[in-house]
Amino acid sequence: MKRVITYGTFDLLHYGHINLLKRAKALGDYLVVVLSTDEFNWNMKQKKCYFTYEQRKALLEAIRYVDLVIPEENWEQKKTDVKEYHIDTFVMGDDWVGKFDFLKEEGVEVVYLPRTPEISTTQIKQDLNK
């Protein structure tokens, strides 16, 4: 049982997120998604989410590739998360390339996947405002 983990806000869920989750799940058998809480988004990522944590969690739990959704409350929890959830592989989009290589020291494979081009929550909001 190969266990994979990934992190994100996943607000205004779109096909770029789905592509990431699909490819992450394909790297193992069980996918843990660590979902940024509203507080973490606002205080640490300066992101104002359209959907609340509970709404974003429900959306993610409805995705066939996702096995478990847990909260992301700070930048430091990754080291403990990978131990607590017996993670084999950590996956993020390549906008984060290199940022989490320290997890290799925990015996975790670190994989950065190409982002899906042209789609982003920011783009969606801009297009809707036109």
Q: Per the residue annotation, which of 2, 45, 83, 104 is the catalytic one?
A: 45
| The token pair that represents 93 in the structure block | 């989009």
Question: Is 8 one of the binding residues for ligand C2G (CB under 6 A)?
Answer: yes
Element at 128 (helix H, strand E): helix 121-129
The Cα 48–Cα 15 span in angstroms is: 20
Q: How far is CA 75 from CA 2, 14, 18, in A?
A: 24, 24, 23
Query: Of residues 98-127, which lie at the interface with ligand C2G (CB under 6 A)?
Result: 115-116, 119-120
125 is catalytic: no
| Half-sphere exposure for 81 (CA within 13 Å, toward CB) | 24
**Residue 95 touching ligand C2G (CB under 6 A):** yes
Query: Closer to ligand C2G at the Cβ: 30 or 47?
Result: 47
33 contacts 8 by C-beta, under 8 angstroms? yes
Contact present, 53 and 71 (Cβ < 8 Å): yes
Among 4, 5, 20, 66, binds ligand C2G (CB under 6 A): 20
Tell me if residue 45 is catalytic. yes
Fill in the per-residue mask, 36 to 75: x = in contact with ligand C2G (CB under 6 A), - = not in contact: x--------x--------------------------x---
Active site residues: 45, 47
Contacting positions for ligand C2G (CB under 6 A)? 7-10, 16-17, 20, 36, 45, 72, 92-93, 95, 115-116, 119-120
